[in-house]
């Protein structure tokens, strides 16, 4: 009889404990975790350390061999000009020769006709250097080449930064610290403290021209036309409040 009473008592206690656990679980489940969402941001002004200048030149002739020989002479003169102005050989890249037939089409007396006006041969040249001012000057002062009859078309230089990966990591760290500080400020003014980080997502990495009206892009802007640039990044963060 005593044994049955003890067993019944144990079962009753177990039921009470289980009910308490289940009840607590439902209570906890019903409670929403208090949290705060912030966006941290960091930006850095910097100057490009690599310049890329592109140009193209061409020759035309009824005879393809004559056009090719003239084009190769232009290449020699351009290379000589660049080296004379301090550009190193390993900074100069000439493309392969592009060949095109100049054909004029016209319709006359019910027939399609064509006139062959000769061959046009062209080449592109690229200069990549870390001596920005030197290449900028050369890209502007090509009169010497034009005076020699070289049909050279010069394009605006493009500017890049070789330490971009390191800059991005540093900005990411700064944006994260900025986000945490914002969350702490919000929590303090609401009588709370921030707890663990619940979620974090990196925003778009943007590079725009310094002091320009260049718009940000959802896909990320990568400016190459300005020597002086501004890099920025955002980080979206969500903290628990306690």
180 and 90 housed in the same domain: no
118 and 206 housed in the same domain: no
Q: Give the pLDDT band of residue 139 (cuts 50, 70, 90).
A: very high
Q: What is the pLDDT of residues 198-229, one digit of tens each?
A: 999 999 899 999 987 776 666 678 899 999 99
Q: What is the 3-state secondary structure (H, E, C) of 175-203?
A: HHHHHHHHHHHHHHHCCCCEEEEEEEEEC
108 and 129 housed in the same domain: yes
- Full residue range of the structural domain in which residue 187 is found: 32-47+163-241
| The pLDDT of residue 221 | 81
Q: Give the pLDDT band of residue 73 (cuts 50, 70, 90).
A: very high
CATH number, position 68? 3.30.70.2970
| The pLDDT of residue 13 | 52
Q: What is the pLDDT of residues 21-67, one digit of tens each?
A: 444 444 445 456 689 999 999 999 999 999 999 999 999 999 999 99
Please state, in angstroms and rounded to a whole number, the distance separating the CA atoms of residues 34 and 185: 16
What average pLDDT does the segment 104-120 reach?
A: 88
237 and 153 housed in the same domain: no
Q: What percent of the chain has pLDDT over 70?
A: 84
Which residues, in sequence order, are bridge partners of residue 99?
Answer: 121
Own/partner long-range contacts of 89-96 (Cβ < 8 Å, ≥24 apart): 91/127, 91/128, 91/129, 92/125, 92/126, 92/127, 93/125, 93/126, 93/127, 93/128, 94/123, 94/124, 94/125, 95/123, 95/124, 95/125, 95/126, 96/123
| The pLDDT of residue 179 | 96
pLDDT of 181 higher than 70? yes
> What torsion do the CA atoms of 180, 182, 186, 192 make, to the nearest 10 degrees?
20
214 and 229 housed in the same domain: yes
94 and 183 housed in the same domain: no
pTM for the structure as a whole: 0.77
Nearest to 127 by CA among 81, 91, 90: 91
26 and 42 housed in the same domain: no
Q: How many domains does the chain have?
A: 3
pLDDT of 125 higher than 50? yes
Burial of 75 (0-12, 13-18, 19+ CB in 10 A): middle
120 and 188 housed in the same domain: no
Q: Is the sign of the CA dihedral 14, 19, 25, 31 positive or negative?
A: negative
- The total of other beta-carbon atoms located within 10 Å of residue 151's CB is 13
99 and 168 housed in the same domain: no
Q: Determine contact, residues 52/127, Cβ cutoff 8 Å.
A: yes
More confident residue, 193 or 109: 193
């Amino acid at each position: 009889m005593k044994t049955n009473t003890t067993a019944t008592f144990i079962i009753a206690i177990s039921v009470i404990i289980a009910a308490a656990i289940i009840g607590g679980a439902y209570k906890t489940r019903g409670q929403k975790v208090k949290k705060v969402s912030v966006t941290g941001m960091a930006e850095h002004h910097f100057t490009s350390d690599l310049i890329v200048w592109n140009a193209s030149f061409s020759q035309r002739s009824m005879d393809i061999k004559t056009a090719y020989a003239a084009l190769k002479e232009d290449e020699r003169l351009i290379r000589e000009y660049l080296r004379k102005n301090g550009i190193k050989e390993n900074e100069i890249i000439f493309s392969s020769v592009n060949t095109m037939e100049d054909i004029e089409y016209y319709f006359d007396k019910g027939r399609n006709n064509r006139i062959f006006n000769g061959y046009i041969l062209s080449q592109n040249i690229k200069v990549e250097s870390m001596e920005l001012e030197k290449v900028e000057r050369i890209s502007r002062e090509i009169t010497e080449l034009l005076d020699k009859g070289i049909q050279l078309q010069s394009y605006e230089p493009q500017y890049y930064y070789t330490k971009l990966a390191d800059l991005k990591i540093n900005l990411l760290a700064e944006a994260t610290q900025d986000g945490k500080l914002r969350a702490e400020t919000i929590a303090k003014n609401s009588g709370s403290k921030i707890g663990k980080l619940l979620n974090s997502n990196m925003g778009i990495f943007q590079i725009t021209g310094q002091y320009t009206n260049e718009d940000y892009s959802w896909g990320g802007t990568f400016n190459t036309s300005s020597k002086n640039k501004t890099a920025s990044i955002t980080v979206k963060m969500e903290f628990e409040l306690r």
